[in-house]
Amino acid sequence: MSIVVTGATGHLGRHVVEQLLEKVPAEQITAVVRDEAKAADLARRGVKLAVADYNSPETFGSVFSAGDKVLLVSGNEFDKGRVGQHKVVIEAAKAAGVALLAYTSAPGSLTAALADDHRGTEEALLASGVPYALLRNGWYHENYTENLAPVLEHGAVVQAAGEGRISSASRADYAAAAVAVLTGEGHENKTYELGGDEAWGFAEYAAELSRQTGKEIAYNPVPVETYAGILTGAGLPGPFAAILAGVDASIEKGELVVSTGDLSRLAGRPTTPLADAIAAAVKG
């Protein structure tokens, strides 16, 4: 029996593998990657590697074995038909007879276009009959803290979220929840709504940035269309910019506030405060 993690060299997948290594022997972990070289460090530590690509169904033919627990990390190729990509994994997992397929989805309350692929994947997973766990991950701190340069340069946090609030958490927090599901028992056919313990708004975010950097950072709320234009001006493709702007519209409506406590319960600890994520980013 293996614990198999797809997208294992991505931002979230790598966190999951690192935390799995703290809980189970390396030889029980299989990292699914597209580029073996990017996982050379994991292989040196005893993790098994499987080279496969969501866009090539034949590559998943021998990745899974009966009894495996699998984490399907959602793809990030928004222009490649993510539901179809995810179905490749679901069908291979079903054919192999895996014990559990956990999927990193989006909050059930999210109506933005970003959620469409997740809902389609959830439907495919439930229809497959494979024992599942839906890990409906909320927003990541790192979505904001990893790109502070323009914020600090212009002295402004520019978003289209109005006074909306977000229950974000760190990638490591969401990884801890996934590891708990993959290594624990009784998670079959469960849905978890995952988000940080404390919701925050962008005015608070700007104030915390000001406090930690000593710079005057203001929150500048703009209309959704304006924000989409700013993103395309920064080089993002139009369709992706529209998706991100749509998430801000959902934030303003409160759709990324998650108050279930599922994340800290699964992780077995409080979630990482936003201030800690900002501190790490500012130091880095």
Q: What is the pLDDT of residues 175-219, one digit of tens each?
A: 999 999 999 999 999 999 999 999 999 999 999 999 999 999 999
Sign of the Cα pseudo-torsion (165, 171, 172, 175, in order)? positive
Q: Which pLDDT belongs to residue 81?
A: 82
pTM of structure: 0.96
| Selection from 224, 212, 195 nearest residue 151 by Cα | 212
| Confidence band for 156, pLDDT divided at 50, 70 and 90 | very high
CB 274 within 8 A of CB 168: yes
Task: Spell out where the chain has E strands.
Answer: 3-5, 29-33, 48-51, 69-72, 100-105, 132-137, 156-159, 165-166, 190-194, 200-201, 218-221
| Confidence band for 167, pLDDT divided at 50, 70 and 90 | very high
- Has residue 172 got a pLDDT over 70? yes
CB 32 within 8 A of CB 4: yes
3-state secondary structure of 269: coil
CA distance 50 to 59: 9
Over pLDDT 90: what percentage of the chain?
Answer: 94
Close Cβ partners of 25 (under 8 Å, ≥ 6 residues apart): 46
For the chain, the average pLDDT equals 96
pLDDT digits (tens, 9 = 90+) for 30-69: 999 999 999 999 999 999 999 999 999 999 999 999 999 9
| Confidence band for 170, pLDDT divided at 50, 70 and 90 | very high
Sign of the Cα pseudo-torsion (270, 170, 144, 112, in order)? negative
CA distances from residue 252 to 45, 162, 201, 256, 281 in whole angstroms, order as listed = 44, 5, 9, 9, 25
pLDDT digits (tens, 9 = 90+) for 74-92: 987 766 688 999 999 999 9
- Has residue 162 got a pLDDT over 90? yes
Domain ranges of the chain: 3-138+171-194+260-271
Q: Which pLDDT belongs to residue 284?
A: 75
Q: Which pLDDT belongs to residue 76?
A: 77
| Confidence band for 166, pLDDT divided at 50, 70 and 90 | very high
| Selection from 75, 96, 87, 71 nearest residue 124 by Cα | 87
pLDDT digits (tens, 9 = 90+) for 251-263: 999 999 999 999 9
Q: Which pLDDT belongs to residue 86?
A: 95
Q: Which pLDDT belongs to residue 225?
A: 96
CA distance 196 to 199: 7
Angle at the Cα of 149 from the Cα atoms of 147 and 154, rounded to 5 degrees: 125
- Give the pair of three-digit tokens for residue 223: 């209309």
How far does CA 230 lie from the centroid of its chain? 24
CA distance 204 to 48: 43
CA distance 205 to 274: 8
Ranges of H-type helices in 26-148 = 40-44, 82-96, 114-128, 142-145
CATH number of 3-138+171-194+260-271: 3.40.50.720
- Give the pair of three-digit tokens for residue 267: 């992780």
Q: Which pLDDT belongs to residue 80?
A: 65
- Has residue 269 got a pLDDT over 80? yes
